[in-house]
Amino acid sequence: MNPFLQLARHPVKFRMFLFRKMPSAFFSGIRIKTITEEKCVVTVPYTWFTQNPFRSTYFACLAMAAELSTGALSMMHVYKRVPRVSMLVVEMEAEYFKKATGISSFVCKDGIAVRDAVEAAIATHESNMIKLTSIGTNESGEIIAEFHFTWSFKVSTKKTAATIEKPIEE
């Protein structure tokens, strides 16, 4: 099994990851509900911490959940890769259709396309971009928002202490 999937599916380890690396997502209550090679489902609740003055979930919290649904699939394919692959969001588009007033779920079904984009970046040693879609729904299954994130993947040329060759001593 993919080591990132093991991490993402472990409730305590992944919450610790969020706390250390994405504290705003941690405190917002964002959680990965389901993750497979093909898709990721992320939820965000409507709470005091995520609310806006209009009695709905603040758009930035919705965007965090949507980004994580695409980002978790991306992390899964670059996690502990050799050679190292860096990833970066280079563009985001969003459309909002309905107020988010309960638990909102964001689904990205582009996992296979992410895998192919990462593999292409490794094969060509050039930056490769992919546009991923995350659809947000409310508890009734109604679409509340649609997000598009363009991710860039690139083989890292940064040398670490482990990859720098030491000169031969005579």
pLDDT tens readout for residues 80-123: 888 899 999 999 999 999 999 999 999 999 999 999 999 999 99
Structure tokens, 132: 């991923």
pLDDT band for position 8 (50/70/90)? confident
Does 167 have pLDDT greater than 80? no
Residue ranges of domains in the chain, CATH in brackets: 3-155 (3.10.129.10)
pLDDT of residue 169: 45
Return the half-sphere exposure (C-beta side, CA atoms, 13 A cut-off) of residue 61.
Answer: 27
Task: Give the residue carrying structure tokens 């992390």.
Answer: 75
Structure tokens, 91: 């563009």
Residues 20, 127, 74, 105, Cα dihedral to 10°: 100
Q: What pTM, to 2 d.p., does this model score?
A: 0.86
By DSSP bridging, strand 40-44 and strand 104-108 are: antiparallel
By DSSP bridging, strand 40-44 and strand 85-96 are: unpaired
Percent over 70 (pLDDT), the chain: 92
Max Cα separation, the chain?
Answer: 72
pLDDT of residue 143: 97
Selection from 86, 101, 103 nearest residue 30 by Cα = 103
| Cα–Cα dist 66/71, whole Å | 9
pLDDT tens column, 140-155:
999 999 999 999 999 9
